Amino acid sequence: MGASNTVDITVVGAGIIGVACALQLARQGRRVVVVDPQDPGMGASYGNAGHLATEQVFPIADSSILKRLPAMLMDPMGPLRLDWKYLPRALPWFARLLLNLRPASYRRTVAGIRALNEASLGAWQRLLQSIEQAQLLRADGSLLVYERAESHAAIEALRERMQQQNVAVAVWSGDAVRQAAPQLSDSIQGALFFPGTGHFLDPFHVVGELVKAAKAQGVQFLKQRVVDGRVEADGVSLMTDQGVLTARQVLIACGAHSARLTTALTGKKVPLDTERGYHLMLPHEQDRLPFAVTSFERKFIMTPMLGGLRLAGTVEFAGLLRPPNMQRAWQLHRLSQGLFRQDLSTQGATPWMGFRPSLPDSLPIIDRVADGKVLLAFGHQHLGLTQAAVTAEMVVQLLKPEPLNPGLPAQGAYRLERF
Ligand SMILES: Cc1cc2nc3c(=O)[nH]c(=O)nc-3n(C[C@H](O)[C@H](O)[C@H](O)COP(=O)(O)OP(=O)(O)OC[C@H]3O[C@@H](n4cnc5c(N)ncnc54)[C@H](O)[C@@H]3O)c2cc1C
């Protein structure tokens, strides 16, 4: 089967990563097809917390994760949960995660996340302005609030570590928090404010606007599931549930589902797993907060969006196949109790679960392999929305000899060959 001479690049996966890449590639004059069995944006990109989380430069796990393992197994409602039945599958991933906590690996991870995050806001502003949708991103900061006096030392240590990594951060008193967000309760002792962050008014709508722009640029969207693939002499063949698609190049961007196709096309096994996360959308609570607020002790985030207030968070290791436990989404409302002067209304609330695509070193794979025929852009874990626009710029750069934008991160840290 030869490569179709009408398609330059087939993008597999129409999440925020695949769609942002498709648009940017089409703008470079490439003929692009996007394949996904679902409507665009229905994966993790649908229900994330909408936080442009440029302050999150540290990997989610640290060495304390081992100590917390028993609690993770025992408490089905805890912020971090490991399904008993999934334990044997998860252990190799955890083993790699622990190896990555060694000082040199940890420093590499932080540098890799930081380089992407530092370029993220600018890349998003460029991308949204280019489709005349700049209003979908509010770049007006976010807060990490704490309620217990005992948390003060940990917050102070975090501030110091963040400042060492060049994260812009200010210390706010409880009164300053309530001045900015008067609905928050007196229990809040203080906060860290991150001026370089922001929030999206509706992550799914952002995907939709990018899809519109991509279609206007000639990108074609096909509703098909890719089941296998093969690198050919002159391109790549993809077997789908409806036939065979051929192109000169393929971009794998199917989030947490990217491992199998990567192995089929490159022979490499990638240790990709999923950290499942939940949200609870509260449609009657649209005006409670001016920007995203995370609770340090309760470990969840609340983001004001066009469709209401979104409570989101929790990490659950249970793989791609087990059904969601929506009690975990409702638990987010219980967690919010006491954070506001008046409890949040659950009228019309909708729960949701999604699959964060996570590699054990907390860095995505952004690379070009197999004689340049296979492009990779997946594994953005908790930061896929934040890093989507810069990832798309980097994928374009992979196809060009000269740098697109001198502010882009160097490719080295994100290579497939690190596994
Ligand atoms: C609760 C929660 C909160 C989050 N909050 C934030 C946040 O505040 N900020 C942030 O930056 N990130 C956040 N994230 C992470 C972010 O949502 C993800 O990193 C990001 O959405 C990943 O995008 P993606 O395009 O790689 O994957 P997805 O959006 O999952 O898209 C992958 C697509 O691939 C398709 N696909 C799968 N298999 C195939 C196949 N065989 N053939 C064709 N297509 C296929 C799927 O249908 C899907 O549409 C959060 C995630 C969760 C779950």
Query: At residue 86, what is the residue type?
Result: Y
| Beta strands in 47-180, from DSSP E residues, in sequence order | 51-52, 80-82, 137-138, 142-146, 170-173
Which pLDDT value is given to residue 371? 95
Domain-located, residue 229: no
Task: Supply the pTM of this predicted model.
Answer: 0.96
Q: How far is the CA of 48 from the centre of ligand 1 (A)?
A: 8
Whether residue 36 has its Cβ less than 6 Å from ligand 1: yes
Q: Which domain holds residue 171?
A: 54-102+138-195+273-358
Residue 2 has pLDDT above 50, yes or no: no
Any idea which of 54-58, 196-200, 267-271, 408-412 has the lowest mean pLDDT? 408-412
**Between helices 16-27 and 384-398, what is the axis angle to 10°?**
30
C-alpha–C-alpha distance, residues 301 and 16, integer Å? 20
Domain-located, residue 363: no
Place of tokens 């607020």: 293
| Beta strands in 88-154, from DSSP E residues, in sequence order | 137-138, 142-146
- CA-closest candidate to residue 165, choices 196, 190, 143: 196
Any idea which of 126-130, 289-293, 296-300, 400-404 has the lowest mean pLDDT? 400-404
Mutational test site, ligand 1, from 314, 356, 363, 378, max ligand atoms within 8 Å of CB:
356
Domain-located, residue 289: yes
- 157 to 107, 152, 281: CA distances (angstroms): 17, 9, 32
Which pLDDT value is given to residue 334? 96
Domain-located, residue 265: no
Which pLDDT value is given to residue 1? 41
Residue 285 has pLDDT above 80, yes or no: yes
Which pLDDT value is given to residue 409? 83
Domain-located, residue 15: no
Q: How far is the CA of 44 from the centre of ligand 1 (A)?
A: 3
DSSP state of 135: G
What domain count does the chain have? Answer: 1
Task: Burial-class residue 215 by CB neighbours within 10 Å (0-12, 13-18, 19+).
Answer: middle
pLDDT digit string, tens, across residues 224-281: 999 999 999 999 999 999 999 999 999 999 999 999 999 999 999 999 999 999 999 9
What CATH number does the domain containing 156 carry? 3.30.9.10
Q: Which pairing describes strands 9-12 and 32-35: parallel, antiparallel, or unpaired?
A: parallel
Residue 403 has pLDDT above 90, yes or no: no
**3-class secondary structure, 110:** helix
Whether residue 312 has its Cβ less than 6 Å from ligand 1: yes
C-alpha–C-alpha distance, residues 328 and 414, integer Å? 32
Instruction: Mention every residue, 6+ apart, whose C-beta is less than 8 A from residue 15.
Output: 36, 40, 41, 43, 44, 45, 207, 253, 254, 255, 384
CA 23 from chain centre, in angstroms, equals 19
Q: How far is the CA of 83 from the centre of ligand 1 (A)?
A: 21
Q: How far is the CA of 278 from the centre of ligand 1 (A)?
A: 13
Whether residue 357 has its Cβ less than 6 Å from ligand 1: yes
Which pLDDT value is given to residue 404? 55
Q: How far is the CA of 49 from the centre of ligand 1 (A)?
A: 12
pLDDT digit string, tens, across residues 343-358: 999 999 999 999 999 9
* CA geometry: angle 70, 72, 78, nearest 5 deg: 135
**Mean pLDDT, residues 58-69:** 74
Domain-located, residue 26: no
DSSP for 339-407, please give it: TBSSPPP-TT-EEEEEEEEE-TTS--EEEEETTTTEEEEE--GGGHHHHHHHHHHHHHHHT-SS-S-TT
Mutational test site, ligand 1, from 10, 11, 36, max ligand atoms within 8 Å of CB:
36
**Mean pLDDT, residues 205-219:** 98
Whether residue 265 has its Cβ less than 6 Å from ligand 1: no
* Helices and strands in the chain: count of H runs, count of E runs: 11, 21
Average pLDDT, the chain: 94
C-alpha–C-alpha distance, residues 389 and 270, integer Å? 23
Q: How far is the CA of 317 from the centre of ligand 1 (A)?
A: 16
Mutational test site, ligand 1, from 224, 385, 386, 395, max ligand atoms within 8 Å of CB:
385
CA count, 13 A, side-chain hemisphere, 333: 21
Domain-located, residue 414: no
Domain-located, residue 163: yes
